[in-house]
């Protein structure tokens, strides 16, 4: 549209759109109805854009967001009364932006992706927080039998685990994820090894 008047800008339409789309656009009635035109964001009832609704829409398109907030892992996570630093680590893990070696490789960083703790498997988010032998021992001590749950993706695993835990155990699960992440960072950056008992103690 031309600025200030309800008339199509033919030069822009011809430059941007193909013949079919040009015809569809020009067929739209532009008569003055007395109403002001405005942009409308369809993902908010108010029609106003918000970062929250945009983020939710992106996650939903990725298959990572339930239609009902109360049923989503995101609503569950932020309802848990755990320290903010632990919630942040788990949020980054769920969002797949925790900088594990595999995630760095995906970003084309030229590094070896072998887990620095067990030296057996690639250091994915699921591996370092759940399936690494060191992590498995930690979960055993915490009383979480990881083999009962799906072990294909961290978000699916955590969703199932939290659904079976009471409030106290949910906090411990979130905090143990943080403790496992801190332990491997201590090993990589400070060459300080942690023990299973010490790591679990940090989660209680």
Which of 98-107, 149-158, 168-177 has the least mean pLDDT? 98-107
Note whether 128 and 180 are within 8 A (CB): yes
Please give the average per-residue pLDDT across 111-136, as a whole number.
Answer: 89
pLDDT tens per residue, range 69-112? 444 788 889 899 999 999 999 999 998 888 887 777 777 777 77
Is pLDDT of 7 > 90?
A: no
pLDDT value, residue 150? 75
Please give the average per-residue pLDDT across 166-193, as a whole number.
Answer: 93
DSSP string, the chain: --TTSS---HHHHHHHS-HHHHHHHHTS-----SPPP----TTSTTS---HHHHHHHHHHHTT---SSGGGSHHHHHHHS---HHHHHHHHHHHTT-S--HHHHHHTT-----B-TTTSSSB--HHIIIIISHHHHHHHHHHT--GGGS--S-HHHHHHHHHHHS-HHHHHHHHHHHHHHHHHHHHHHHH-----HHHHHHTT-
* Full-model pTM: 0.65
pLDDT value, residue 54? 83
pLDDT value, residue 34? 52
Q: What mean pLDDT is reported for the chain? A: 84
Is pLDDT of 183 > 90?
A: yes
C-alpha distances out from residue 42 to 30, 49, 82, Å: 22, 8, 34
Locus of tokens 């084309």: 108
Please give the average per-residue pLDDT across 114-121, as a whole number.
Answer: 88
How far apart CA 150 and CA 160 sit, in angstroms, is 8
Residue 13 CB partners (closer than 8 Å, separation 6+): 22, 25, 26
Dig out the tokens for 99 from the structure: 């900088």
pLDDT tens per residue, range 21-48? 888 888 877 665 555 567 778 888 888 8
Q: Give 104: exposed, middle or buried? Use CB within 10 Å, 0-12, 13-18, 19+.
A: middle
Share of the chain above pLDDT 70, in %: 87
pLDDT value, residue 129? 96
| pLDDT level of residue 64 (50, 70, 90 thresholds) | low
Share of the chain above pLDDT 90, in %: 37
Is pLDDT of 50 > 80?
A: yes
| pLDDT level of residue 11 (50, 70, 90 thresholds) | confident
Please give the average per-residue pLDDT across 110-126, as a whole number.
Answer: 85
């Amino acid at each position: 549209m031309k600025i200030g008047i309800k008339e199509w800008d033919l030069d822009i339409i011809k430059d941007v759109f193909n013949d079919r789309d040009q015809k569809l656009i020009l067929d739209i009635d532009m008569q003055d109805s007395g109403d002001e035109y405005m942009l409308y964001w369809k993902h908010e009832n108010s029609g106003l854009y918000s970062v929250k609704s945009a983020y939710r829409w992106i996650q939903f398109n990725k298959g990572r967001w339930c239609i009902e907030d109360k049923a989503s892992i995101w609503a569950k996570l932020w309802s848990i009364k755990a320290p903010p630093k632990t919630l942040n680590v788990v949020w980054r893990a769920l969002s797949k932006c925790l900088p594990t070696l595999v995630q760095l490789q995906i970003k084309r960083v030229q590094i070896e992706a072998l887990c620095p703790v067990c030296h057996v498997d690639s250091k994915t988010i699921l591996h370092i927080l759940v399936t690494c032998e060191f992590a498995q021992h930690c979960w055993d001590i915490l009383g979480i039998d990881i083999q009962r749950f799906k072990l294909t993706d961290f978000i699916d695993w955590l969703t199932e685990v939290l659904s079976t835990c009471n409030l106290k155990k949910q906090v411990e699960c979130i905090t143990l994820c943080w403790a496992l992440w801190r332990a491997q960072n201590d090993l990589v950056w400070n060459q300080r090894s942690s023990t299973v008992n010490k790591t679990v103690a940090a989660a209680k």
